[in-house]
Every structure is written in C-alpha cells, then in structure tokens.
Amino acid sequence: MSTVALLALGFAAAVPAGIALALTFELAAYKRAADRERALRPVRIARPLRRRR
C-alpha cells in the first residue's frame, strides 16, 4: 500500500472518532454552563404561603 492510501485510510478512520470527541466536549461544556447558571441563580427560600381569609 502506498503511503497516500494509508494516510487516507487513517484519516477516514479518525473522522468519526473526532466527531464523537467534539460532541462529547460540546455536551460537557453545555452541562458545565448550565450548572454554573444554576449556581449563580439566587436560591428561592421556600416560605409557607399565607392563607387568605
């Protein structure tokens, strides 16, 4: 096999792995951003609702 063919094969094999890796990182970054947003949002203190008479 020529070097070019091997290189093309290697690249073709690496593409799906690269996409999977990128998706994983994207998901991790999204989750981290959501967690940070949740942490920054002030926690509402649950107080008993006043009953109207």
- Predicted confidence (pLDDT) per residue in 3-49, tens digit: 999 999 998 889 988 999 999 999 999 999 999 888 877 766 666 66
What is the number of other CB atoms lying within 10 angstroms of the CB of residue 39?
8
Domain borders along the chain are 1-42
- Overall pTM > 0.85: no
Q: What is the DSSP string of the chain?
A: --HHHHHHHHHHHHHHHHHHHHHHHHHHHHHHHHHHHHHHSPPPP--PPPPP-
Which pLDDT score is estimated for 24? 94
Distance, CA of 23 to CA of 34 (rounded, Å): 16
